[in-house]
Amino acid sequence: MIKAIACFCLCFFSFYVVRAEQAIPAEEGGSGATQEISMGKVRLSFSLDAAGEPVYAVTYGDRPVILLSRLGFVLAEDTTFYKGFTLLGVERSSFDSVWKPVWGEVREIRDHYEQLRVHLRKSDRRVAGAAEGGAAGSTAGPGRLLDIVFRVFADGVGFRYEFPRQPGLKYFVVTDELTQFHMAGDHKTFWIPGDYDTNEYPYTTSALSAVDNAALVAASTDIAVRVAPDRYAVQTPLMMKSADGLYINIHEAGLMNYSTMDLHVDAATLTLSTRLVPDAVDNKAYLHAPAHTPWRTIIVSDKAADILASKLILNLNEPSRLATTDWIHPMKFVGVWWEMQTGKGTWSYSDFADSLDAAGRLIPNGRHSANTANVERYIDFAAANHIGGVLVEGWNVGWEDWFGNWKEDVFDFVTPYPDFDIRAISAYARSKGVQLIMHNETSGSATNYERQMDTAFRFMTAYGYHSVKTGYVGKIIPRGEHHDGQWMVRHYVRVAQKAAQYHVMVDAHEPMRPTGLQRTYPNWMACEAARGNEYNAFSNGNAPDHETILPFTRLMGGPMDYTPGIFRIQGYSAVPGRQVHTTLAKQLALYVTIYSPLQMAADLPENYAAHMDAFAFIRDVPVDWDDTKILAAEPGDFVAVARKEKGAANWYLGAITDEHARTLDLPLGFLDAGRKYKATIYKDAPGADWKLRPEAYVIETVVVDAKSVLKLWLAPGGGSAVEIRPF
Amino acid sequence: MIKAIACFCLCFFSFYVVRAEQAIPAEEGGSGATQEISMGKVRLSFSLDAAGEPVYAVTYGDRPVILLSRLGFVLAEDTTFYKGFTLLGVERSSFDSVWKPVWGEVREIRDHYEQLRVHLRKSDRRVAGAAEGGAAGSTAGPGRLLDIVFRVFADGVGFRYEFPRQPGLKYFVVTDELTQFHMAGDHKTFWIPGDYDTNEYPYTTSALSAVDNAALVAASTDIAVRVAPDRYAVQTPLMMKSADGLYINIHEAGLMNYSTMDLHVDAATLTLSTRLVPDAVDNKAYLHAPAHTPWRTIIVSDKAADILASKLILNLNEPSRLATTDWIHPMKFVGVWWEMQTGKGTWSYSDFADSLDAAGRLIPNGRHSANTANVERYIDFAAANHIGGVLVEGWNVGWEDWFGNWKEDVFDFVTPYPDFDIRAISAYARSKGVQLIMHNETSGSATNYERQMDTAFRFMTAYGYHSVKTGYVGKIIPRGEHHDGQWMVRHYVRVAQKAAQYHVMVDAHEPMRPTGLQRTYPNWMACEAARGNEYNAFSNGNAPDHETILPFTRLMGGPMDYTPGIFRIQGYSAVPGRQVHTTLAKQLALYVTIYSPLQMAADLPENYAAHMDAFAFIRDVPVDWDDTKILAAEPGDFVAVARKEKGAANWYLGAITDEHARTLDLPLGFLDAGRKYKATIYKDAPGADWKLRPEAYVIETVVVDAKSVLKLWLAPGGGSAVEIRPF
DSSP B232-273: TEEESSEEEE-TTS-EEEEEEE--SSSPPEEEEEETTTTEEE
- Contact (CB<8Å) B281/A479: yes
State how far the Cα of A603 lies from the Cα of A695, in Å rounded to an integer.
14
- The residue among B277, B442, B449, B454 with the most chain A CBs within 10 A of its CB, best to mutate, is B454
Looking at residue B579, what DSSP letter applies? B
pLDDT at A142: 79
Q: Give the Å distances, CA to CA, from A696 to A274, A582, B498.
A: 46, 11, 60
CB B392 within 8 A of CB B372: no
Peptide bond into B290 cis (omega under 30): yes
* Conformational region of residue B443, where left means phi above 0, alpha means psi within -120 to 50, and beta covers everything else: left
Q: Smallest Cβ distance to A171: which of B288, B407, B454?
A: B407
Peptide bond into B278 cis (omega under 30): no
Q: Smallest Cβ distance to A450: which of B165, B450, B455?
A: B450
State how far the Cα of B520 lies from the Cα of B540, in Å rounded to an integer.
36
Catalytic residues of B: 534
CB B595 within 8 A of CB B74: no
State how far the Cα of A335 lies from the Cα of A699, in Å rounded to an integer.
26
Nearest Cα of chain B lies from the Cα of A477 at a distance, in angstroms, of: 9
Phi, psi of B340 (to 5 degrees): -75, -40
Nearest Cα of chain B lies from the Cα of A66 at a distance, in angstroms, of: 36
Whether A36 is catalytic: no
Let me know the angle formed at the C-alpha of B111 by B105 and B112, rounded to the nearest 5 degrees.
135
Q: Among the listed ranges A347-356, B9-18, B486-495, which one has the minimum average pLDDT value? A: B9-18
For chain A, say whether B481 makes contact (Cβ under 8 Å).
yes
> What are the respective helix, strand and coil percentages of chain A, to the nearest 5?
20, 35, 45
For chain A, say whether B480 makes contact (Cβ under 8 Å).
yes
- Contact (CB<8Å) B479/A354: no
State how far the Cα of A117 lies from the Cα of A103, in Å rounded to an integer.
31
Phi, psi of B229 (to 5 degrees): -70, -20
Q: Give the Å distances, CA to CA, from A709 to A359, A630, A631, A666, B132.
A: 70, 15, 11, 5, 59
- Contact (CB<8Å) A286/B447: no
Peptide bond into B330 cis (omega under 30): no
Q: Smallest Cβ distance to A480: which of B280, B408, B490?
A: B280
Between strands A598-600 and A331-336, the pairing is parallel
Nearest Cα of chain B lies from the Cα of A491 at a distance, in angstroms, of: 11
pLDDT at A32: 60
Looking at residue A550, what DSSP letter applies? G
pLDDT-derived band at B136, boundaries 50, 70, 90: very low
Could you report the per-residue pLDDT of A311-336, keeping only the tens digit for each? 999 999 999 999 999 999 999 999 99
Q: Is the pLDDT of residue B98 over 80?
A: yes
CB A707 within 8 A of CB A650: no
- Contact (CB<8Å) A451/B406: no
Could you report the per-residue pLDDT of A470-493, keeping only the tens digit for each? 999 999 999 999 999 999 999 999
Between strands B435-441 and B389-392, the pairing is parallel
Question: What mean pLDDT comes out for the span A240-260?
Answer: 98
| Encoded amino acid at A70, one letter | R
**Chain A to chain B, count of Cβ pairs less than 8 Å apart?**
79
Q: Is the pLDDT of residue A222 over 50?
A: yes
State how far the Cα of B464 lies from the Cα of A49, in Å rounded to an integer.
64
- Contact (CB<8Å) A478/B487: yes
Q: Give the Å distances, CA to CA, from B655 to A513, B105, B545.
A: 65, 16, 13
pLDDT-derived band at B107, boundaries 50, 70, 90: very high
Could you report the per-residue pLDDT of A100-139, keeping only the tens digit for each? 999 999 999 999 999 999 999 998 664 444 444 434 444 5
State how far the Cα of A4 lies from the Cα of B435, in Å rounded to an integer.
53
CB A372 within 8 A of CB A419: yes
CA A421, A424, A428, A433: dihedral to nearest 10 degrees? 90
CB A632 within 8 A of CB A640: yes
For chain A, say whether B283 makes contact (Cβ under 8 Å).
yes
- Contact (CB<8Å) B165/A354: yes
- Contact (CB<8Å) A280/B283: no
Its pTM stands at: 0.93
CB A226 within 8 A of CB A217: yes
Could you report the per-residue pLDDT of A8-41, keeping only the tens digit for each? 333 333 333 333 333 333 344 345 689 999 999 9
State how far the Cα of B224 lies from the Cα of B531, in Å rounded to an integer.
12
Q: Which residues of B touch A407 (CB under 8 A)?
A: 171, 286, 288
Q: Where are the alpha helices (DSSP H) in A245-371?
A: 304-309, 312-316, 338-341
Instruction: For chain B, give the number of residues.
Output: 727
Looking at chain A, which residue has its C-alpha nearest residue B477? A478
For chain B, say whether A24 makes contact (Cβ under 8 Å).
no
State how far the Cα of A686 lies from the Cα of A698, in Å rounded to an integer.
9
Nearest Cα of chain B lies from the Cα of A174 at a distance, in angstroms, of: 13
Could you report the per-residue pLDDT of A421-451, keeping only the tens digit for each? 999 999 999 999 999 999 999 999 999 999 9
SS3 at position B105: coil
Could you report the per-residue pLDDT of A173-189, keeping only the tens digit for each? 999 999 999 999 999 99
- Contact (CB<8Å) B280/A478: yes
For chain B, say whether A498 makes contact (Cβ under 8 Å).
no
Q: Is the pLDDT of residue B20 over 60?
A: no
State how far the Cα of A74 lies from the Cα of A173, in Å rounded to an integer.
9
Q: Smallest Cβ distance to A450: which of B280, B447, B479?
A: B447
Smallest CA-to-CA distance from A585 within A601, A565, A612 is with A565
State how far the Cα of B174 lies from the Cα of B77, in Å rounded to an integer.
9
Q: Where are the alpha helices (DSSP H) in B326-409?
A: 338-341, 372-384
Q: Identify the helix (H) or strand (E) that includes residue A424.
A: helix A422-432
Could you report the per-residue pLDDT of A522-577, keeping only the tens digit for each? 999 999 999 999 999 999 999 999 999 999 999 999 999 999 999 999 999 989 98
How high is the mean pLDDT of chain A? 93
Instruction: For chain A, give the number of residues.
Output: 727
- Contact (CB<8Å) B354/A450: no
CB A395 within 8 A of CB A335: no
State how far the Cα of A357 lies from the Cα of A71, in Å rounded to an integer.
63
Max Cα–Cα distance, chain A, nearest Å? 85
Phi, psi of A6 (to 5 degrees): -60, -45
CB B266 within 8 A of CB B273: yes
Looking at residue B498, what DSSP letter applies? H
Smallest CA-to-CA distance from A417 within A376, A365, A370 is with A370
> Hey, what long-range contacts does A56-60 have (CB within 8 A, 24 or more apart)?
A56/A150, A56/A159, A58/A157, A58/A298, A58/A300, A60/A246, A60/A300, A60/A301, A60/A302
Nearest Cα of chain B lies from the Cα of A37 at a distance, in angstroms, of: 35
State how far the Cα of B690 lies from the Cα of B347, in Å rounded to an integer.
30
